[in-house]
Chain A
Amino acid sequence: MSKIIYVNQKLLFDPRLNELRSGYHYNWDNFHGITQLNPGHDGAYVRAGTNTLPLRNDLVNCLNFQMPLYDPNAHVSFAEATDFRATHLRANRFDKRWLILWSGGIDSMVIVASLLKNFSPADLANIDIACNRISIYENPQFYYQHIEPNFAVVDSNFLNFDQLLNKYYIIDGDPADQLYGGFANRSMLGGNAILKDWRRDPDQLLDMLAAKSGRAFAEWYYETVKANIDSVPVPVDNYYDFCWWIFFNFSWCAILLRPLQFQSGIDSSSLKLYFDNFIAWYNTAEYQQWSMTTRLGVKYAVNIAHRKLASKQYIYEFDHDEYYYKFKTKMESVSRPTPNWNGYFCILDDYSRLTLDNDLEQIMTLLPDHITL
Chain B
Amino acid sequence: MNIQQVEFYRDGVIDNLPVFALYDPVGNCFLTVLPNQTVAQHLKYLVSSRYHLHVCRLDLASNYTHGMLTNANCELWSLTNHDSIAFSNPISTDVVTVTELTPTTATPDYDVFGEKLWCLYCTHYLYILDNEHDATVDPFDKMHRDYSKLDEYLNSFLNINSVGYASTAVAPEIKNKILQLLYLYRGDIFELDQEIKQLL
A residues within 8 Å of B by Cβ? Answer: 137, 140-141, 144, 186-187, 189-190, 303-305, 322-323, 326-327, 329-332
Contact = CB atoms under 8 A, between A and B. Distances in A.
A140 B184 CA distance: 7
Contact of B184 (A141, A190, A304, A331): A141
Contacts of A189: 25, 82, 85, 87
B26 A141 contact: no
A288 B87 CA distance: 27
A141 B187 CA distance: 13
B82 A141 contact: no
Contacts of B133: none
A326 B48 contact: no
A144 B184 CA distance: 10
A332 B89 contact: yes
B109 interface: yes
Interface string B137-178: 000000000000000000000000000000000000000000
Interface of B: 24-26, 48-52, 82, 85, 87-91, 109-110, 183-184, 186
Given A186-B87, A304-B26, 5 more contacts: A189-B82, A189-B87, A190-B82, A303-B26, A327-B50
Contact of B52 (A140, A141, A329): A329
A330 B48 CA distance: 14
B88 A187 contact: yes
B48 A137 contact: yes
Given A140-B183, A141-B184, A327 B88 contact: no
Given A141-B184, A326-B110, A304 B51 contact: no
Given A137-B48, A144-B184, A189-B82, A305 B89 contact: no
Contacts of A303: 26, 109
Nearest to B183: A140
B49 A141 contact: yes
B25 A331 contact: no
Given A189-B25, A323-B50, A327-B52, A141 B88 contact: no
Contact of A187 (B51, B87, B90, B183): B87
A196 to B, nearest CB: 17
Contact of A329 (B26, B49, B183, B184): B26
Interface centre among A137, A187, A305, A330 (most CB of B within 10 A): A305
Contact of A331 (B26, B51, B90, B110): B90
Nearest to A134: B91
Given A140-B183, A189-B82, A304-B26, A329 B50 contact: no
18 contacts: A140-B49, A141-B49, A141-B184, A141-B186, A186-B88, A187-B87, A187-B88, A189-B25, A190-B82, A323-B51, A323-B186, A327-B26, A327-B51, A329-B26, A329-B52, A329-B90, A331-B88, A331-B90
Given A144-B184, A331-B90, A304 B50 contact: no
Given A323-B51, A326-B26, A327-B26, A304 B183 contact: no
Contacts of A332: 88-89
Contacts of A326: 26, 109-110
A212 to B, nearest CB: 12
| Nearest 10 interchain pairs by C-beta | A327-B51, A305-B26, A186-B88, A323-B50, A140-B49, A326-B110, A327-B26, A189-B82, A186-B87, A304-B25
A331 B51 CA distance: 12
